[in-house]
Structure 1
Amino acid sequence: MAHLYYYHQLTLEQQVQALKFSEEVRPEWQCYMVDFRGDVLRGLPLNPILQTGTVRVADSERAQLAKFHRAEIEFVVRHAIGDWSEMSPDECAANHLAIENGAPVISRYAVGDIAQVYVVTPADRLHTQVMVSLHAGSPRGVQ
């Protein structure tokens, strides 16, 4: 039985295998089918439902993510394709309405038990901000 994984979920060896399936797009913009032996069988495109514009992340935020061996692109991709699996149904519905009505879209992702990553795309869709909060609750400016 095969399983689907985001690029960041693959082992380093699997990431190398995945590169042969991602010649035309960044590897992060695909998910990968992996068989029971751990071999990458194919890449499947992730189709964004939201324009993110320029990605903004402060150097301090990027450094914080690096401590967790994570990168902002992982969260921006999930935000753009509508993967809000870590949010409540009400928050997911609010994001779908925000996309439809041209309002800000806010995503939240856990990084272990001690951090939350917030991804925010304002109504104009010109940029997307990535923020890291090391405590429960939302960072300043996110509501």
Structure 2
Amino acid sequence: MLTANKKLFELGQVVATPGALAALENNGQSASEFIHRHQSGDWGDLCEEDKQANQEALESGDRILSAYRLEDGTRIWIITEADRSSSCVLLPSEY
């Protein structure tokens, strides 16, 4: 269920790792564009099974993961914790 401006869940405290911040800066991109996509149900570059797991997590309260590619191809993840207390922007290697 992709909705451009609808917030499907709470993000909690939003944080980012140093690696993700550096990658975003190197690409001239903002974390906020990806956070908005994440919160509105645009899960990015995930397989159908992971997208379905996110849809189910909206109801069950499980963790939500999105994956995106920056302009230079660098992958970033956004993970919102199951209790919705926090969301983290990170590189997969920092997980």
With the shorter chain as reference, the TM-score category is 0.7 to 0.9
TM-score normalised per structure 1:
0.58
Superposition RMSD on alpha carbons, in Å?
A: 1.7
Aligned to 2:24: 65
Identity of aligned residues (%): 26
Output the CA distance in 2 between the equivalents of 1:107 and 1:85. Answer: 6
Aligned to 1:96: 55
Kindly report structure 1 stretches of 4+ aligned residues shifted beyond 6 Å.
Answer: none
Output the CA distance in 1 between the equivalents of 2:13 and 2:27. Answer: 23
Unaligned runs of 5+ in 1: 1-30, 32-45, 133-137
Aligned to 2:76: 117
Q: Which has the higher contact order (CA 8 A, sep 6+)?
A: 2
Unaligned runs of 5+ in 2: none
Which structure has greater strand proportion?
1
Output the CA distance in 2 between the equivalents of 1:107 and 1:72. Answer: 13
Question: What amino acid does structure 2 have at the position aligned with 1:109?
Answer: Y
Length, aligned pairs only: 92
Shift of 1:87: 1.8
